Every structure is written in C-alpha cells, then in structure tokens.
Structure 1
C-alpha cells in the first residue's frame, strides 16, 4: 500500500527499495486476481513459520493443536466449512516482512500470513490465503469472500462502524541509525534537537516529525527534516552521514536491518514511538465484518498462542518482538474519529 495513505498500513512502500524490486517478478506471478487463493498443506497440528521467506525470518516448525473450547466459539457456517479464509492486501508489490510472495514464487509468506496459519490451527480450520489490493481487501470482507483480514490493519474508531477487531501487534514507528551511532531516541521530542532526520513525504510519521520540529522551533532549537525520492536515497544518505536517522514504520526497519546486518552499512533500531502518537498505543488487529462473531474466537486463539509461547516465537522469527502485546483484545480503543 502506498505509504502516504492515512493509517491503513503505515509500512507499505516504506521497506527497502531493493527488496521490493527483487520481489517484483515473483509478485507478478500472483497477478491481480483477488479470488486467487492458496490452501496450505501441512501436517495436522503443525505450522511452519518463515517458510520460503527469503531471509526475512528464521524458519521454525511449531506444534499448534486445535483448542476445542475456542473452535466451539466459531460461527456455525465457518465450522461447517472447515476453512478460514484469510485476506491479505499485499498486491501488487508486497510489503516484507509482513506479507509478500515467497521465494517459491507462489506461497504467500510473511508475518501476517503466518499468524493467520497459527490462528487457523488453534481453531481447527484449514487456512486459505487470498491476496488482494488494499482497497479490494475490504471489499472482500464486505462481500463475504474473506472471513478475516490479517494485513497490518490499524484499529480505528472509524473502522469500528463496519468491522470488529482482535488486536495482535503494536503499531509502532522507529528510528533507524547506523550501527556505530551512539544516539538513541528516548521517547521525547527534545531528544531530536540538533538532529537531521529523513522521513517519507505524506506519511503519518512525517506528520509526527513536523509537529516535533515546530515544538523545537518554539524553544529556539532546530530539527532538520530531509526527504529523498526513494528508500535507496535515504539509506545512502544514512551511510554517508548526511542524515542522523531515518524515521519510518518499525516492521520495514526491522526487515532492512536484517538485510544489511553483514555489510559495511549495517544499521540498528534506535527507539520506537507509537504510530497513534504520544497518548495512545496504536494497535494492529485482525479485521472481520461487524457482528460476524469472529473477533472473539480469533482473540482467544491469539491469547492461547501468547500463553503457550508460539506467539513469541512467531514475532522473534520476524524480528518484531518489540511489537508484542500482552493480550489480544476484542475492539480495544482505536485511533479516535478525528485522527483515523
């Protein structure tokens, strides 16, 4: 999804440009047909995390039994079908490490599809992954082609008018700096005085950064904000010292850090900030049609995974442990209507 769109999935288009280019050919194989679906064939009670993820995750096989008390909560029609149709809004270019076509050029992989597989296993259902454009993902939910979307959807009060949510990950932004840098973001805008920071134009993180810049200016302090036409330009500027940090979505930064870890231009995460701002922790949530009866069993499935360790293993595999939630909630407070 284009990164300038408001609070849909604040990572898309903000991952390393080289990674997107490398995936272009594979994603072309997926095409634009939103009805194209893949059903996993795995051993009963097993889920492979990071399969064909092309280095985005460390592959690991997890035991995940059906939990009858949770699957009993499912709507009768879904129990009868024996499958959970999981929607991803990853067309056309994907957004590693969250969702994209894997190295086998056919499997939808990434942290979001893998969580869908874990949840389906707890519910005793066969996961069926369907890939859409971002806009058509919600059309799929509305039309009943999709049971639940796990696609980096931010929980907002506006969306609650049509959908119900089960939270599963924090919605965070982060600062990326050269590995040798000694600077860390301490959570306050004052910490940025005297720094030069790159950000994507038209993004949520630009809005936050410009607010901080204005506050510092009132205090007689300077924050320089720089823009580059693509992520390659940003990372060249970071490596050459022309900027001190890049401010962007945490998952994309986590992915880029893994890609450059063994190069002269290695980087690190220098601190996170909620995508919802200073006063609310933004949340990413599984999204289903309002009153579908799916939010509670999905939340209970995620909480089972949290309690028994598979959730932590899933996040760790994708280097997203810093976005863990303590519990999955049904319809938790979301971005307010004036900021959705």
Structure 2
C-alpha cells in the first residue's frame, strides 16, 4: 500500500493531467509500464537550456555550467566509466506540469525535475540520459541499477531511507490558490481559514491536513467548509465563479496553473504555502539514489555548487518555484516519520 506522500505525488499528476492534455503534452512511450528515453535539452557540453519546449510554463533561459573536477572525482567508478548520468523520471503516462512532461515539440522531456538533472549532470561532467517511466517503474529502475538517480518530486521519508539515499533540493510544499483579485492570504495557521470554503482532492495528504484544521476550527466554534470536485476543471470553474474561496493543492501545480491563466479573466495566484510534512517538519524533495551507491554526496555537492553560483536560483525562478528554495542540499536529512510516511 503506498504511503501518503506517494499518494499525494501521484495526485499531482492526476490533478493536472487534464491541463497537460489540453496543451497537447501527451507523454511518449509504448506503454505506461516501460521506460522511455528522451532527448536532453542541451547543446554543447556544459550548456543547459532551462524551460525548453515548456509551452509557456517556464521562462526559457540558457545557462553555462562548467564541469567541477573536484565534485566529479567523488563519483563511483561505475558512473565515471559510463560517462553518463541516467536520470529516472516517473511522469508516464500523462505528465505532471510543471515538474515533468513532454514539451510542445512532442518529444523533449521538459519540466523543473529533468532540468535540474541536466544541471547536475553538467557539474559532474556527465551526459544526461533521461529515462521516463511510470512512478512505480522509476523505483524499479533505481533498484535494478539501470537508473542512477531519480528526479521526480520524490519526498524524503524515513521509510524510503531503508532502501534509498537522498540529496535534498527543494521544499515539499502545499499551497492555497485563489483568484488573482482576491486579497486573502493564508498566514500559516488554521485560524486564517475560518469562514472559508476550500476545495481539496480526496485521499490526498492535503485533505488529511485540511480535515485536521476543520476539526480544530470546529473546537474553536468556527467553520471551515471543504468541497470536493471530480476533476481540476470543475474545481477551477468553482473558484472562478466564487463557489469556493481557495483550492488547497501541491504548490507546483498552483505555480503552473498561475502561468497558464496569467492575463486571462480567470487569473489565479498562490496565497500561501504549508509544508507537506506538517507544521513540525519542513518536507523536502530529494534526488534519490540506491542506498550505499555512493551517489548522494556528489549529488548534494553538485546542488550546493549550483546554489553558490546562482544557477539554482535561476532554475527555480524560471519555473516559478522560487518559494520552494532550500539554503543548502543535505544528505539524508530528517524525513517524514514512519508513523506518517
């Protein structure tokens, strides 16, 4: 049975699959159970195009990222000898804008996750080889050694640490989406939701959090109304018509929807975020490698090099995810506890 964070990650894909299909971003591959290689958005060695073929979800920029010999030297011999970094993605069958999907040319894998993989490969002096699969087969690839590292919005949990090593690179956040004209903002506490009507996906991590807040408000003599809709289109119709005040969803999907509606009568914006791990722990999204593979430290060092040199901030800003920045990449940081993972 999948843990609650796995369920939430899957529902990021499900919740915005309709938008992806509307944009004509159907993923490639013969079926949802097999890996599908895709070309990298790179030109010369050390040149990485961020947001290539993103169909407006990102601002396309070109970054020059030279190899760092000292970090490359930390790599396991098997990876050095292969001269490539096999990057596992779990975005079949429909893709998950903005974190990973097939671009406007119907062949380039684009998104914040594959772009970070390309940047890290450049620091390591390796050729990025993208392998897109279903969520389950992403981990099969890591377990079998076919895949070096997964970049697929993977949350650090103590349960997963039994099999994998992590290098953190982004906060795992949920967020509130409102009409752009709405002045309300979530202040980080459940009390700011008093009197609000909020939509949420059934069976998700965010639903669990919202139901807890609803109970706490009820104990205070106040009301939070929770609404459920069959799909994201219905949710956004309700938001646009004022039948709901906000939508509580994964922060990346909110960022993506904001870029797609900008300038339209139905423009939306993010109105505050909350850790996917709850109030007591900041959830973290991590590069994920097989346990004891020797990859976690060079991956973290590569990320920290990108942070120090500014390319990390440029990558996040291009994908409208600057509010999920971390100050540093950590190897195997505290993860979602076994009691809640």
Asked if TM exceeds 0.5, the reply is yes
- Structure 1 residue 13: Cα displacement: 1.6
- Structure 1 residue 29: Cα displacement: 5.5
- Structure 1 residue 14: Cα displacement: 2.2
- Structure 1 residue 30: Cα displacement: 6.2
Structure 1 Cα separation of the partners of residues 93 and 323 of structure 2: 28
Equivalent position of 2:130 in the other structure: 129
Q: TM-score, normalised by structure 2?
A: 0.96
SS of aligned partner of 2:106: coil
CA contact (8 A) 2:20 2:94 kept: no
Structure 2 Cα separation of the partners of residues 221 and 12 of structure 1: 33
Structure 1 Cα separation of the partners of residues 21 and 33 of structure 2: 20
Is 2:27 the partner of 1:27? yes
Is 2:239 the partner of 1:213? no
CA contact (8 A) 1:15 1:255 kept: no
- Structure 1 residue 36: Cα displacement: 2.9
CA contact (8 A) 2:48 2:119 kept: yes
Change (3 A) 1:256 1:339: same
Structure 2 Cα separation of the partners of residues 198 and 4 of structure 1: 19
CA contact (8 A) 1:49 1:114 kept: yes
SS of aligned partner of 2:133: strand
SS of aligned partner of 1:13: helix
- Structure 1 residue 314: Cα displacement: 0.3
Aligned-pair Cα RMSD in Å = 1.7
Equivalent position of 1:144 in the other structure: 145
- Structure 1 residue 45: Cα displacement: 1.4
- 1:15-63 C-alpha deviation (Å, 9 max, x unpaired): 2733334345x32456446343235352011100001111111110001
Equivalent position of 2:89 in the other structure: 88
Structure 2 Cα separation of the partners of residues 176 and 211 of structure 1: 19
Structure 2 Cα separation of the partners of residues 31 and 315 of structure 1: 31
Unaligned runs of 5+ in 1: none
Unaligned runs of 5+ in 2: none
Equivalent position of 1:37 in the other structure: 37
Equivalent position of 1:47 in the other structure: 48
Greater alpha carbon shift after TM alignment, 248-257 vs 10-19 = 10-19
Q: TM-score, normalised by structure 1?
A: 0.96
Equivalent position of 2:155 in the other structure: 154
- 1:242-267 C-alpha deviation (Å, 9 max, x unpaired): 10000000000000001001110111
- Structure 1 residue 218: Cα displacement: 1.0
Equivalent position of 1:329 in the other structure: 330
